[in-house]
Amino acid sequence: MAAAGGIGASLAAGCLGGDSGGGGDSGGGGDSGDDGEGGMDDGTMEGDGTTEDEGGMDDGTDSTEDGSMKPDSWRSVQLSTVRGDETFTVDGFDKPVVLQSFAVWCPKCERQSKELKNMDDPAVVVGLNTDPNEDEAKVRQHAEDNGFDWRFAVAPTEMTDLLIDEFGPTVTNAPSTPVIVACQDGPATMMAGRGINSISDIQDAMDDC
């Protein structure tokens, strides 16, 4: 599901083994520190036990302000249904996930949701509200008023940022009706900017999973 436009939302290593360390010119290390263990570049003798390279590795374990681990993919961001009955992640399912990025105010989004209502394939359908001005209560009422009985969630800022990183700002441009087909253990494809995405188009994307 690919389209144009949208709102854009985005996302010290010290010097280890310094002049006063065990491998320096003075102190217990002496000259042997240059040739011995103190000079080994094996990642085991640097200051607090980490090398400078290790300190700079991006291993997806950055922390958020509350101390929790920051996900390195939008698929692993925890979501809560607006009905309050479930928490889940996109990568937590064993089947393809059809993710619709939408806003309540968008008429084309509602038409896209009504198209998704006709799906009979056992895919997981998720309505993801990416408008920062809309809350769970508004989305819940929208789903109930239209008889949409699948999972609906409001995207946390970190998920919106990660989606934009991968798909560009179009993913949050509601009128472009972005729909992402995320294959389990496989790629994710976005369709957007070409009107309402038909069930057959979505099914074709799922067949590639």
Q: Is 202 exposed, middle or buried (0-12, 13-18, 19+ CB in 10 A)?
A: buried
Residues 6+ positions from 60 with CB-CB distance below 8 Å:
70, 71, 72, 73
pLDDT in 10s for each residue of the chain, 209 residues: 333 333 333 333 333 344 433 334 434 444 444 444 444 444 444 444 444 444 444 444 454 454 455 567 999 999 999 999 899 999 999 999 999 999 999 999 999 999 999 887 778 999 999 999 999 999 999 999 999 999 999 999 999 999 999 999 999 999 999 999 999 888 999 999 989 999 999 999 999 88
- DSSP lists the bridge partners of residue 124 as 97
- DSSP lists the bridge partners of residue 149 as none
Q: How far apart are CA 82 and CA 64, in angstroms?
A: 23
Q: Other C-beta atoms within 10 Å of 177: how many?
A: 25
Spell out the domains of the chain, with CATH numbers in brackets.
76-207 (3.40.30.10)
